[in-house]
Amino acid sequence: AVYAGTKAFVSHLSKHLRVELGPKKVRVCAIEPGIVGTELQDHVTDAGANAWLEGSKDTVDWLRSDDIAQIVGFIASRPLRVNLPQVFIMPTAQAS
């Protein structure tokens, strides 16, 4: 629940920052990835979440950090007149 709450906060914060900073030509993009294979999984202490993570490896081809990095590079390389306010990046097989 806390994790979901913090993600919602970041989404709303991004919207407000766009309103405040857009007139100053500052772009704000909320990048919201699905499951990415990183060291984060090593810090999960919930047994149910760990079981889900292990099981998902058999059915979902997780994103890699370079997938996200390439998209960040694409977003940053757009002309200053272009802002991508929110980008969802999901493994093809991840439902939500």
Residue range 43-88, pLDDT digits in tens: 888 899 889 888 888 899 999 999 999 999 999 999 999 999 999 9
Mean local confidence (pLDDT), 1-30: 94
Which of 49, 32, 31 shows the shortest CA–CA distance to 40? 49
Give pLDDT, residue 34: 92
Domains for the chain: give ranges and CATH numbers. 2-89 (3.40.50.720)
Which residues belong to the active site? 3
Q: Name the pTM for this structure.
A: 0.81
